Amino acid sequence: MIPQPPDLARDPASREQRENFDVFLSRGLPEQYLHWIKSELNHHQIAEHFWEPGEEPAQVVARALVFDEESREKGYQVKSTWCFLEDLSADGLASLAGDTHVMIANSRPSLDLWLLLHFEEVPQGIPRAELARALRQHLPDLRRDIADGALLGRFTVAADRARTLGVEGDLATNVFEFVEQVRDSLVAFSPGATVRI
């Protein structure tokens, strides 16, 4: 028997099809952050679906539910469908969440909170303007700094800080759950892959 060349030898798990993700999000900072995650995790099986002008969070989630059901009925391999929302209350989040494959990544009051947690702890009650100011101290040119890797190596600390904040109160985020799911999908597809986030 002729041995396989090293570059073709693969672990059994890596023969599995890479999982697909669908993400419903607004343009701007959420889009920029998702592009960075896709790039750093080398996981391009993430399809973007942008909010329609004037759509409310409940409408976005309803559209995502229909899309997810139709994709599964057609036999597409979808890991999960996510909706990136901002400033949704704990009660609002609970009312939209259901026993489906649609997940909600929410940052209250905004995605600025999730990004700032990469650099420092954030106390409950901080005004929204102060949150944005504190983030600009770490990321003066937000889009460029994210693209240039300013968040690299900071994910675990940010996720721990987000867990400490919890889901109640004026400040909360669970964006880390989406990132963990994408990261875990990558590791399952490519055992031994280097995860840089």
pLDDT bracket for residue 9 (50, 70, 90): very low
The separation between CA 55 and the C-alpha centre of its own chain, rounded to angstroms, equals 20
Q: Are 116 and 137 in contact (CB under 8 A)?
A: no
Q: Which are the contacts of 13, defined by CB distance < 8 A and separation ≥ 6?
A: 188, 189, 191
Beta 102-108 vs 78-86: how paired, if at all?
A: parallel
Mean pLDDT value of segment 150-160: 96
pLDDT bracket for residue 167 (50, 70, 90): confident
Q: Is 143 exposed, middle or buried (0-12, 13-18, 19+ CB in 10 A)?
A: middle
Residue with tokens 């993400």: 23
Q: Which range is least confidently modeled, 42-46, 147-151, 176-180?
A: 42-46
pLDDT digits (tens, 9 = 90+) for 47-77: 899 998 888 888 898 899 899 889 889 888 7
Extents of the domains making up the chain? 19-189
Burial string for 113-125 (b: 16+ CB within 10 Å, else e) reads bbbbbbbeebeee
Residue 4, pLDDT score: 52
Model-level pTM? 0.84
Highest mean pLDDT pick, 25-29, 84-88, 160-164: 160-164
Q: What does the chain come to in residues?
A: 197
Residue 76, pLDDT score: 81
Residue 137, pLDDT score: 96
Q: Which are the contacts of 163, defined by CB distance < 8 A and separation ≥ 6?
A: 176
CA dist., res. 158 & res. 176, Å (int): 8
